[in-house]
Amino acid sequence: MTDVPPPSDAPLLCVGDTLPDALRTDRLLWFHSVNAGTDPLLAGATWPAPALLTRTVGRMGERIAQYVLGWMLAEAQSVPEFTEQYARAHWERLPSELVAGQTALVYGTGRIGAATGRLLAACGVRTVGVARTTRYGPAPGTDRVVPPGFDRLIGAAEDTAVLGEARWVISTLPLTAATEGFFGASRFAAVRGATFVNVGRGATVDLGALETALRDGRVRRAVLDVLPAEPAAPEDPVWQLPRTVITSHSAGITTDEDIAVDFAACWEDVTTGRRPGLTVDTGRGY
């Protein structure tokens, strides 16, 4: 979109991954992002308040859920250890563990978190969702509404006990003012041997606190699809984190088909007077 000429008097509908400052005017009616994460768009110049912002999700939830489950199963079958043994030409039988019956604490219960919860639950994993806001039933005194795919729902301030019970801690959190550095020393201090998987946003994690937790054994292993600064240069200290795998922001890459399908769905909603389901609340950041 860098080659788009300055806007004329005509209203603008744009599709892309970035929005140049020259187009951030009151002529912008709608911007559809080809990505799921919109924090880079909102971190730039002021967003033109009346403009609609939608995003592309496509089958990202399925892809990321599959990614998370894949790493969990690989770990349960000692694949990292066998890979290391192979490099040393060393034969040693290692035990496996079952994921069924163990606890996964999933931060974020939106589209991606819910898809992850559903897939893990189908494998017998006990899933606890963590949401910024929780809803209750219509009648006074009724229980919280638990989204499909989760056995239980808690608020972020209630996570300490479950952090100590979880075998896997999974983050699908977006980056907002409230989530930047969310996983810091205090949260990692509550972990008791869980593997930490981040498929949300890199800047939600204090990497120094994660390194400390890895080195003292509170965090068993880290699987990071996202980092605070991307791409990570070869000399970046993140490559020296112990028992860590980095997968270059590849867990849920959107395809051209995803973009076309989601834009068409948003177009249908807009032209029939409905608010698109993929609308981003620019105030909240997601």
Residue in 88, 90, 92, 230 annotated catalytic? 230
Residue 275 has a CB neighbour count (10 Å cut-off) of 11
Is 32 labeled as catalytic in the residue annotation? no
Is 201 labeled as catalytic in the residue annotation? yes
Q: At what angle do helices 60-76 and 111-122 cross, to 10 degrees?
A: 40
195 phi/psi in degrees, rounded to 5 = -90, 135
Residue in 59, 192, 243, 249 annotated catalytic? 249
Distant-in-sequence contacts of 108-111, Cβ < 8 A, 24+ apart: 108/171, 108/172, 108/173, 108/174, 108/200, 109/147, 109/150, 109/153, 110/172, 110/286, 111/57, 111/60, 111/61
Residue in 63, 167, 187, 201 annotated catalytic? 201
**Which residues are identified as catalytic?**
201, 230, 249
